[in-house]
Structure 1
Amino acid sequence: MTQHDSVAQRGSVEAGAEQVVVLGAGPAGLGIARELKHRHGVDPLIVDRSDAPAASWRARYDGFRLNTCGFWSHLPGQRIPLSFGRWPTRDQMVEYFDDYVRRQGLRLRLGVRAERIDRDGAGWSITTDDADVRASAVVVALGNHNTPGLPPWPGMDGFTGQLLHAADYRSAEPFGGQEVLVVGSGNSAVDIALQLSSAVAAKVWMSVRTPPQLVPRSTAGLPIDTLGPLLATLPVWLLDGAAAAMRRVWFGELAGVGLPPPRQGIYTALRALAKVPTIADELVPRVKDSRIEIVSAVESFETNRVVLADGTALAPQVVIGATGYRRGLDALVGHLGVLTDDGHPVTNGPPAAAPGLWFAGYEEPLIGPLRAFRRQAPDVAAEVVSHLAASSAASQTLSR
């Protein structure tokens, strides 16, 4: 038996009907399942392709820490232990999620990939790589980090150096003494560049296409996300202006080292492009003392070189692309008319995208995703239960 066998069964989804199926055993799916079970007495089946819950968290690099304060970042019904400290590590978060599944008594089927969802009468049929499963309601909570993606850079297939996605990065140690180009300016890119530049790599460049929104991890002794609920109530123009002013106070003038102020304001970028601010307390000193060199965007690859947008070229031995993920929802639900042109769900949380079909966890909120998942879970669960009640009433009326 494995550590998850007491709460989860692997493979062999039994053909038959479920009240609710939750696709995805990440934090969004776990939180909604918990609310359904403990608030409403509905025991959903959680289906996930991985062999353990919260798989994307297990795959994070060594040295990862939560960017939001652990005190605020718990799921519904169970806090993160205070002993984990203000910024819990990857391993502590994995321990928390495992304990959450056990203590909340959640029902998981692991190692099963959902391939397609189709309407089946008043409910839904989910085709998996094991067996079909029917459900009266489905919640899709597979997350924004479903499929790692590198841009289709010209010439990348002929590059003789090492090219990998940040999802495959675990620690800086294998890259000791090498010259490394990190592509991206989000939090993962920054963390990787910081690890590499801590007397490990011989040279570290960070390629930036769009200047990031820079914020500190804490201010005046308070975690920056403490202010999230208050900030979310303020006008966008005011948030953008205040953040720009505070950036100058926190970090000074950075245009000379390759990090000019972004054209869009911090909250405008978050709402329009889901661009999460970058924690920059350690990055800025490393850039100022040249341990990390900011360079322009990657345009193409040659045999042993990377050509940049400004016409210059580098010769890194390793390129690590912290270039984001695809949601990977097209094959699953693209035929249902519930996705936007860029593959994002038409709704996130209530209301349903289609009768009996919800998406959850597809946002990048200013207050942090875990906190947002906790707030979203009760609303999704309540709407699912209302749908089940209405469907049951309609069925009884038809049977009379």
Structure 2
Amino acid sequence: MTMTTEQFDTIVIGAGQAGLATGYHLARRKQRFVILDAHDRVGDVWRERFDSLRLYSPAKYDGLPGWGIPARSWTWPGKDEVADYFEAYADRFSLPVRTGVTVDGLSPGGDGYIVTAGARTFEATNVVVASGTWQTPVIPDLAEQLDPRIRQLHSSDYRNPAQLQDGPVLVVGCSHSGADIALEVSPAHRTTICGPVRGELPFDIEGRAALIAIPIMWFMANHILTERTPMGRKMRPHVRSGGGPLLRVKRADLADAGVEHFPAKVTGVRDGRPVLDDGTELDVRNIVWCTGFTKDTSWIRIPVTGADGWPEQSRGVSPDHPGLYFVGLPFLRAFASMLTGGVGRDAEYVAKHIARRSNRPVIRPSAPDLMSGHPSLR
């Protein structure tokens, strides 16, 4: 059977926060585009996270461009609220999202690019990679040497304590998600968490101090910690290497819950048990690997990566491949680039760049026109 090739001016890969924000700004400029996403529903990337997850910033700072998240300003939305908001956002602006389309290849072709998804082929003058590329779970090779009776989960597969078997739990990785999970499982399991702590916020993110601190931090994330400042350039490689400070759950919270913390890392296996680099051997029945994710650009069959392994770009624009863009990368322009409420600025810049490349004039619709939605390309 011969499969036809669909053609668009712009293809956006990924319908998460970066893809939806980019779609919003492309729609405002009357561009012809489609958003491709591997999940069955918009927002599933959030629905698939652990049940108790809540955002680490208040709803006031979590909105996508054009329509904020429908929650009180100083509340912290849960992961399902975020997922439903993303889905409603796509519907509100009639963004042309096609779900269930898993992109597995991006290569140059003709005057632009060829995007493949199994047997399906798409062509476009412009392609925006908005899938983050930071999505492959990291589990050390030594995990295969552990006693098979130990229940092992990566944080991306963890949903709630009901997945664990009776007995002690080891959480590997003491960043914010690791601390959240360790605290959650501690009432029913003797819990240990290991790994260095890379600092912690000196205030309760849901307390009174946050009313003063978070606006200051938000300003810094958008305007101070950027690729244009010495402070931002110094921080950027640390952000991209993974890990982060404790945010909601602090060391004191873990100690109060009886969670034992070892700063050492898991580096070996002895008699089927995990061994830390300080020689400590741990007898556990469950391990949750909160060891983060690694970047995957193998499906991008274009030489785009720089010396650090990340795609080379300037504010999302590829310097060597006209029409190729990235949105949603960690610290793309600023610390806020990877945050739900901060990605819109990068998305707008990329959409403007695409509109300038287009032969069509840039038309800014009136507010009623925008609310009426964008012509669907489903």
Shorter-chain TM-score: what band?
0.7 to 0.9
Which residue, 156, 165, 175 being the options, matches 1:167? 156
Return closer, same or farther for 1:301/1:387 CA change in 2, 3 Å cut-off.
farther
Q: Contact 1:185 / 1:211 at 8 angstroms: preserved in 2? A: yes
d(CA) in 1 for partners of 2:288, 2:166: 15
Q: Match of 1:190, SS? A: helix
Q: CA deviation at 1:141?
A: 0.8
d(CA) in 1 for partners of 2:188, 2:103: 41
Q: Contact 1:147 / 1:325 at 8 angstroms: preserved in 2? A: yes
Alignment-mate amino acid for residue 194 of structure 2: S
Q: Contact 2:166 / 2:285 at 8 angstroms: preserved in 1? A: no
Which residue, 295, 301, 305 being the options, matches 1:339? 305
Q: TM-score, normalised by structure 2?
A: 0.83
* Structure 1: stretches of 5+ with no match in the other structure: 1-11, 241-264, 391-400
Equivalent in the alignment of 2:170: 181
Instruction: Give the number of the structure with larger relative contact order, counting CA–CA contacts within 8 Å between residues 6 or more apart.
Output: 2
Alignment-mate amino acid for residue 291 of structure 2: T
d(CA) in 1 for partners of 2:144, 2:19: 39
Q: Contact 2:36 / 2:98 at 8 angstroms: preserved in 1? A: yes
Alignment-mate amino acid for residue 358 of structure 1: Y
Alignment-mate amino acid for residue 282 of structure 1: V
Return closer, same or farther for 1:168/1:224 CA change in 2, 3 Å cut-off.
farther
Q: CA deviation at 1:120?
A: 1.3
1:38-117 correspondence to structure 2 within 5 Å: 39-83=28-72, 86-117=75-106
1:218-233 correspondence to structure 2 within 5 Å: 220-222=209-211, 224-232=213-221, 233=223
Q: Establish whether residue 213 from structure 1 lines up as the match of residue 193 from structure 2.
A: no
Q: Match of 1:117, SS? A: strand
Give CA-to-partner distance per residue, 1:299-348, whole Å, 9 cap, x none.
Answer: 12344311100011001101110111122211x21x42101355421126
Equivalent in the alignment of 2:371: none
Equivalent in the alignment of 1:352: 318
Q: TM-score, normalised by structure 1?
A: 0.79
Considering fraction of residues, name the structure with more helix.
1
Return closer, same or farther for 1:356/1:170 CA change in 2, 3 Å cut-off.
same
Q: Contact 2:170 / 2:191 at 8 angstroms: preserved in 1? A: yes
Q: CA deviation at 1:150?
A: 0.8
Q: Establish whether residue 278 from structure 1 lines up as the match of residue 245 from structure 2.
A: yes
Equivalent in the alignment of 1:371: 341
Q: Contact 2:128 / 2:324 at 8 angstroms: preserved in 1? A: yes
Q: CA deviation at 1:73?
A: 1.2
Equivalent in the alignment of 2:21: 31
Q: Match of 1:60, SS? A: coil
d(CA) in 2 for partners of 1:33, 1:355: 19
Equivalent in the alignment of 1:262: none
d(CA) in 1 for partners of 2:307, 2:3: 32
Q: CA deviation at 1:55?
A: 2.5
Q: CA deviation at 1:235?
A: 8.2
Return closer, same or farther for 1:124/1:366 CA change in 2, 3 Å cut-off.
closer
d(CA) in 2 for partners of 1:325, 1:131: 28
Return closer, same or farther for 1:266/1:17 CA change in 2, 3 Å cut-off.
closer
Q: CA deviation at 1:276?
A: 5.9
Identity across the alignment (%)? 26
Q: Match of 2:322, SS? A: coil
Q: CA deviation at 1:266?
A: 10
Q: Establish whether residue 309 from structure 1 lines up as the match of residue 297 from structure 2.
A: no
Equivalent in the alignment of 1:253: none
- Pick which of 210-219 and 41-50 moved more: 210-219
Equivalent in the alignment of 2:287: 319
- Pick which of 273-282 and 49-58 moved more: 273-282
Equivalent in the alignment of 2:140: 151
Alignment-mate amino acid for residue 156 of structure 2: A
Q: CA deviation at 1:51?
A: 0.9
Return closer, same or farther for 1:47/1:235 CA change in 2, 3 Å cut-off.
closer
Q: Contact 2:10 / 2:125 at 8 angstroms: preserved in 1? A: yes
CA RMSD of aligned residues (A): 2.9
Q: Contact 2:225 / 2:235 at 8 angstroms: preserved in 1? A: no
Equivalent in the alignment of 2:358: 388
d(CA) in 2 for partners of 1:42, 1:285: 51
Count of matched residue pairs: 348
Return closer, same or farther for 1:325/1:289 CA change in 2, 3 Å cut-off.
same
Alignment-mate amino acid for residue 99 of structure 2: L
Which residue, 204, 209, 212 being the options, matches 2:191? 204
Return closer, same or farther for 1:267/1:121 CA change in 2, 3 Å cut-off.
closer
Alignment-mate amino acid for residue 384 of structure 1: I
Q: Match of 1:214, SS? A: coil
d(CA) in 2 for partners of 1:235, 1:36: 27
Give CA-to-partner distance per residue, 1:160-203, whole Å, 9 cap, x none.
Answer: 31111011100113336420000112221111111011x121x1
